[in-house]
Amino acid sequence: MRNVYKLLFAAALLLSQTLFAQKDDTIRILAVGNGLSAEAVTRDLPGYFEAAGQKVVLAYAVRLSSDYAKQAELARSGAEGFSYSKLSGNGTWTEERKVSLAAALADEKWDIVSLQTQSAQAARRESIDPGLGQLLKFVRKRTPKSVRIMYFQTWPYANQSTKHWMAFGHNNVNMYPQIAATSKEFCEKYSLEVIPVGTAIRSLRTSFSMQGDITYGDHLNKTMGAYLCAATFFEAVTGLDARDYTDAYAPYTLENHVRREMAAKCAHYACLKPFEFTNMSSGTGTYGSVEAGLPNYDETLVPQYTLPDPLVMNDGSPVKGIEQWEGERREELLELFRSEVYGHSPARREGQHYKIVKEDPNAFGGMATRREVLIYFDSSEDRYIRLMTYVPNGLEGPAPAFLLLNTSGNASVNEDTNISYPDEHQLIQYEIHGFPYYGQYRHFYPLELILSRGYAFLTFFKSDCDPDFDDGFQNGIHPYIYKEGQTFPEPDQWGSISAWAWGMSRVMDYLEEGQTEVNAAKVSTIGHSRAGKTALWAAAQDTRFAMAISNCSGCSGAAIARRRYGQTVRQINTTFPQWFCRNYIKYMDNEDALPVDQHELVALIAPRPVYVGSAAGDRWADPKGEFLSLVHAQSVYAMYGYSGLPSDEWPDVRHPMIGDHMGYHIRLGRHSLTGYDWDRYLDFADIYLK
């Protein structure tokens, strides 16, 4: 039977290629199913056909949340229970109207009709028939004998999805084999071709290192997910190689050519083997895929480079003093980072306000008072940050503080079960199934040590501003602030790092306006990895922060980009596209064209103190490049009369350098935030925050 299917598939591809040989021919496709079918044909598929120079009529007839049985029931009853829309010749979709399936089938002489069941049922063979057989019988009676009826194979959900997961152990690896087996069984039983989107997605998840996922719950995201679906659908119905059109079709939602090429590659192999995913992994470990570019860990291979001078204006003239730096050059640099790297952020919202919702004056046996404060972004109270603060008791006057963006939820910071867990509304926004247990990452946050040294500790979960995966900027604060009609950030508008930094500034608003326990004039940003990038960017923009600390922040944080050591601009844009503005893509494999480099990000913190920490085993973050950013930012600190580092020579491991308004250390170990790091940061803070 497998050979019979292969022959049918080959014959269908030959037929489709013959149909497409004449450029004026039009192919007519009707997608029958539910909302997933509507998304499949409306998002990127029209663009793919246009890029190939092929005329197409696309339409969908869908019933939301329906399976084959429901679709067959509605079809046979003649009920006008399907939403129907069609892509017109001028490139616009007709307004949806309610029709019977018979009317939709009669509207055009369809070449292809795809059928799709409810995604939660796609892995359960007992749910497919008799509904599929009944629906097929209905469709075949009302379409030409030449019509190609295709089984639209859906996909396993993202692991963090909260929907329909009990039968699969909340794991898409368990769901996919059942989807593949079910679709194969019924394609063979009814001599159907398949549109193997589920296989393409499984291949991508296996082969391509990326942060997050390409599905948003049970729906594909509007970036790589939509593109992969279109590439698979296109190749399955035309027989044309989707890989040939990734340059011709580059939507603004997926400008990164590496991600387009990988999506099309997975689509192509899925069409060759529709029921068996293909593992194209390089085997180089997390974030080290061949497509993103393999890292260089050889110092002798670091290219020659010339850094831009932070004290030279855009027009080439030198900065003549502090007044010109603060009045002109600083704003020039901020604008370059905003427009080319992190993206512009909006101002605070009108109606921003605060509410203390929980308080414990006896945290750690009376050592501190713990509070939870909701920072509402505006008067609507639809979106908010849940700020958690620990303030040491018994201090004379308000406490200096560290503000740290946490990446796993406030409850992960400490094992105290009185800390609020995310509510259902937040979990829906985050699209998270399960959560770290109380105190799971407490080793990152030695609260008793911090409090005993006389500092307050402030933190909030990054997803309160933007969940950290590529969802097309739909589930964070971005759409909350979009202009009317806007669905995606402009090329120079904020990514996730700017959204998180924006949230840190909203915390500073609260410290200035809503409390007296923390000294708002003595707050240091601090962060590890992506949060370290955020800590630097937040302090660079918002001069209310008194100090900035970056721990293992690496590429696009403290490390010099032009060194191309460890993680590169290509790799970080490919793996974490949501972090930056779209303009940053221009500098993949093109770092020398950057109008800025990360030493200028450090310089923007001047004259305030800055500390950078590295780890010897964290080559991915380029520890030497992190140190060199401090070295090359010293000229700006010198303008204020500060000498900076005690030496320009990269120090040995565990020999911290505490200079004049600058600090640095490199420790043993790998990518983490450790007790050794905190000891150094607290010593530095004792000098400048007390």
Active site residues: 529, 671
Please report, for residues 413, 441, 476, 528, the alpha-carbon distance to residue 444 in angstroms, rounded to integers and kept in the order given.
8, 6, 25, 9
Residue 559 — φ and ψ, nearest 5°?
-80, 140
Element (H, E) at 148: strand 148-152
At 3, list the tokens. 């050979």
SS3 state of residue 10: helix
At 54, list the tokens. 């092929």
How far is residue 178's CA from residue 156's CA, in Å, rounded to a whole number? 9
Please report, for residues 563, 610, 655, the alpha-carbon distance to residue 664 in angstroms, rounded to integers and kept in the order given.
19, 9, 9
Q: Which long-range contacts (CB under 8 A, 24 or more apart) does 361-367 make?
A: 361/393, 363/390, 363/416, 364/447, 364/448, 364/451, 366/393, 367/392, 367/393, 367/448, 367/451, 367/452
How far is residue 59's CA from residue 31's CA, in Å, rounded to a whole number? 6
CB atoms under 10 Å from CB of 651, counted, come to: 16
Q: Which residue has the tokens 């009376």?
A: 366
Task: Annotate 221-241 with b (16+ C-beta within 10 A) or e (fewer).
Answer: bbbbbbbbbbbbbbbbbbbbe
Shortest CA distance to 55 belongs to which of 12, 87, 32?
87
At 101, list the tokens. 């399936």
Pairing status of strand 518-528 against strand 399-406? parallel
407, 211 Cβ separation under 8 angstroms: no
SS3 state of residue 634: helix
Contact residues for 560 (Cβ-Cβ < 8 A; gap 6+): 305, 307, 597, 598, 599, 622, 625, 628, 629, 632
Cα-trace Rg, the chain: 28
492, 343 Cβ separation under 8 angstroms: yes
Question: Which residue type does 15 have?
Answer: L
CB atoms under 10 Å from CB of 43, counted, come to: 18
CB atoms under 10 Å from CB of 152, counted, come to: 26
CA 624, chain centre distance (Å)? 28
How far is residue 367's CA from residue 389's CA, in Å, rounded to a whole number? 13
At 417, list the tokens. 């079960």
Residue 520 — φ and ψ, nearest 5°?
-65, -20
Strand ranges in 326-470 using DSSP code E only, listed in sequence order: 353-362, 368-376, 384-392, 399-406, 456-461
* Residue 87 β-bridge partners: 93
